[in-house]
Amino acid sequence: MAACIDNSTKHCIYLTADSSPCQITNSICRLIRLCRPGATDLDSCNPIYQYASCINRFEDSCKVGPQEFSEDHIWLKLRQEAEFDITQEPILSKWYHSAVLSHSSLESALANQLSIKLSNAELSRDALHAVFLKALVEDSEIQRAVRDDLKAVRERDPACVSYVHCLLNFKGFLACQAHRLAHNFWVQNRTVLALLIQSRVSEVFAMDIHPGARIGRGVMFDHGTGIVIGETAVIGNNVTILHDVTLGGTGKVQGDRHPKIGDGVLIGAGAKVLGNVKVGENAKIGAGSIVLKEIPARGTAVGNPARLVGFR
């Protein structure tokens, strides 16, 4: 459905669901020029996340999320937490306003945060923001997954004091959401963009997740540092993975060569699961274990090579 970003019929900017990222970026830049006549080109514009009232019109017109998001309790709670934090630490006011309170949705705030983290001198924040926002508002599955991931971290990580703390500071959460976007591009055959995001995530967050990997909802990457997940890996829902975990191949086969992790699995720090092996639902893998064979549902495996020591 066509969306008019500016209410003025004279300067109306139209986008459709098929608009390319470049068209979106150029259209937003035109909008910025209307807001700021002195702006000459995209590079001279301030970051688009600062123009919340303008961007939110685009976001609201594009959003195709399910009815359940009409009352987004997590987003409302996150905003309340941000406002409370500002009363406790006024020095956070400017940052929290630009990162959270100036946005009308979780999708907009997340696109802003990821574009800040993953941009560099050659890859502009504005261009990434436009691409990320378009993908987020068009994919209701990602919208659900983002919220389930936030809840998972808040509920399962004792170090997470609030939703806003997770959104702004937890690199495991941010890397997971960047992967969801990269996977979205991967399945659309936007391979180069997907691999670029993988590379930037590796550089910025020290986590290497191939965009072809499939990851469920309610996933927590605790600490995140050193996590490696291969192309054909599959991770179920409500999985917890600690730092320095590898879901890799053995180097002896091609094709479908990476682990399949069931729902509710816990993988301890430094564990390696190698090859196309299945880890059953609610299984637990101890820290530092090397898993080369299937782990049954609810089983607990430890050691090198890993062996079953009991059931949950």
Tens digit of each residue's pLDDT (9 = 90 or more) over 220-240: 999 999 999 999 999 999 999
**pLDDT tens for each residue of 27-62:** 444 444 444 444 444 443 444 344 344 445 444 544
**Is residue 218 domain-shared with residue 253, that is, in the same domain?**
no
**Is residue 23 domain-shared with residue 75, that is, in the same domain?**
yes
**Is residue 244 domain-shared with residue 220, that is, in the same domain?**
no
Q: How many CB atoms lie within 10 A of CB 306?
A: 22
**pLDDT tens for each residue of 271-288:** 999 999 999 999 999 999
Would you state the pLDDT for residue 53?
44
Residue 22 has pLDDT above 80, yes or no: no
Beta bridge partners of 15: 3
**Is residue 189 domain-shared with residue 283, that is, in the same domain?**
no
User: Which string of DSSP letters, residue by residue, matches 270-304?
Assistant: T-EEESS-EE-TT-EE-TT-EE-S-B-TTEEEETT
**Is residue 237 domain-shared with residue 136, that is, in the same domain?**
no
Which residue, 225, 259, 287, sits at the end of a domain?
225
38 vs 22: CA distance, rounded Å: 22
51 vs 206: CA distance, rounded Å: 31
**Is residue 120 domain-shared with residue 139, that is, in the same domain?**
yes
| Nearest CA-CA partner of 35 in 5, 4, 2 | 5
H and E: helices and strands count for the chain: 10, 17
Residue 2 has pLDDT above 60, yes or no: no
**Is residue 215 domain-shared with residue 258, that is, in the same domain?**
no
**Is residue 220 domain-shared with residue 233, that is, in the same domain?**
no
**Is residue 206 domain-shared with residue 233, that is, in the same domain?**
no
Size (the chain), residues = 312
- Mean confidence (pLDDT) of the chain: 85
**Is residue 16 domain-shared with residue 115, that is, in the same domain?**
yes
**Is residue 218 domain-shared with residue 241, that is, in the same domain?**
no
Which residue, 187, 205, 225, sits at the end of a domain?
225
Task: Assign residue 61 the CATH number of its domain.
Answer: 1.10.3130.10
Task: Assign residue 281 the CATH number of its domain.
Answer: 2.160.10.10
**Is residue 263 domain-shared with residue 200, that is, in the same domain?**
no
Which residue, 225, 254, 286, sits at the end of a domain?
225
**How many structural domains does the chain have?**
2
| Nearest CA-CA partner of 271 in 290, 257, 284, 258 | 290
Q: Which domain holds residue 312?
A: 226-312
